[in-house]
Structure 1
């Protein structure tokens, strides 16, 4: 049985480099006198080595307005963070808890949707009565009950808008607290 050729560390690095240039596994296998499977294993092993050792290979880019960048830099300096990249990395790492679906928010919005459906039905009934009266050439019946219903409807819409505003402010404050905590952890870790 013929002995298998072993690749040196330098040859493995060359294979990875050549693969990144687009050279196929078959060509590299022939060049280094190994099987195509050995070349693929070498590439696979290199990817896992980078992942397992924490080597950073991915890049994230973001475009900001000058004001947004100034506010971000101000926040970083307030927390004693020197590098934007460290802050962004920490925020990305802690984003798992920040960007999770908010079940409480979803439940409240479902309740708001049901309330809006009821309001929509009331508006439809009022419009229907007014349209029927108008088609008959009569002045629409608009008594105290209808006026109270419209006032109640207007009050509900205003209350609804306030509740949605409060709900979103609470959620935004929660996200802001999580992000601030992540930045504080980074600042404390640098000391």
Structure 2
């Protein structure tokens, strides 16, 4: 390979395009008469150039209801964004601060999961007894006290559902405040 060969701009573009299609770097180096390091550098330089010049090559798409779109547009207008794209871009650039795991929520949900597993096992045992009694033509095999325990169990399940709902609503409320802060910061140009 000749040393010091300088690639033309059109050759650089071809290298980047071919590399994106999956053509191997050794093959490109041989084809253009340069070293593999030159190919690596060319690809990196193009990535850096696209990033630095703000050339956007990826698209994001999401389908929402008309009400969701109206609410999003209202938030964007409230914070001075001219377009949905600018608002989405601001949110995407700030995701490191927004979409972080919530350790408290994860811990609470894990404890709820364990409790629901225990409840599920109890319900399975009750159903098994009921089926056995039904097959034999007998009345349900439990006393009034046991029947009250079953009713209490059902109440516990409903209460747990309400607690989980409240927990998720609180978390969503905190997330909305964080997203609102991010939009405000970008609209004011503080980031």
Shorter-chain TM band: 0.7 to 0.9
**Structure 1 residue aligned with 2:117:** 117
Map 1:1-191 to 2 at 5 A: 5=4, 7=6, 11-22=7-18, 24-29=28-33, 35-37=34-36, 39-47=38-46, 49-50=48-49, 53=52, 55-65=54-64, 67=66, 68-134=68-134, 137-189=137-189
- Name the CA shift for 1:6/1:160 in 2 (closer, same or farther; >3 Å): same
- Name the CA shift for 1:169/1:54 in 2 (closer, same or farther; >3 Å): farther
Larger radius of gyration: 1
Moved over 6 A (4+): none
- Name the CA shift for 1:124/1:17 in 2 (closer, same or farther; >3 Å): closer
> What is the aligned residue count?
180
**Structure 1 residue aligned with 2:23:** none
Where relative contact order (Cα < 8 A, 6+ residues apart) is larger, the structure is 1
Could you tell me how far apart the structure 2 residues matched to 1:140 and 1:6 are?
A: 89
Offset at 1:61?
2.6
Residue pair 2:16, 2:42 contacting (<8 A) in 1 also: no
Deviates more, 1:138-147 or 1:172-181: 138-147
- Name the CA shift for 1:142/1:85 in 2 (closer, same or farther; >3 Å): same
Deviation string, structure 1 residues 118-168 (Cα, Å, up to 9, x no partner): 323333443444455555554334433112202211210110110111111
Residue pair 2:16, 2:46 contacting (<8 A) in 1 also: no
**Structure 1 residue aligned with 2:24:** none
Deviation string, structure 1 residues 61-104 (Cα, Å, up to 9, x no partner): 31434614333222211111113222111101111233232222
For structure 2, the residue ranges without an aligned partner over 5 or more in a row are 20-27
Q: Give me the TM-score of the superposition, normalised by structure 1.
A: 0.75
Offset at 1:117?
2.5
**Structure 2 residue aligned with 1:32:** none
Offset at 1:12?
4.6
Residue pair 1:119, 1:153 contacting (<8 A) in 2 also: yes
Could you tell me how far apart the structure 2 residues matched to 1:71 and 1:65 are?
A: 11
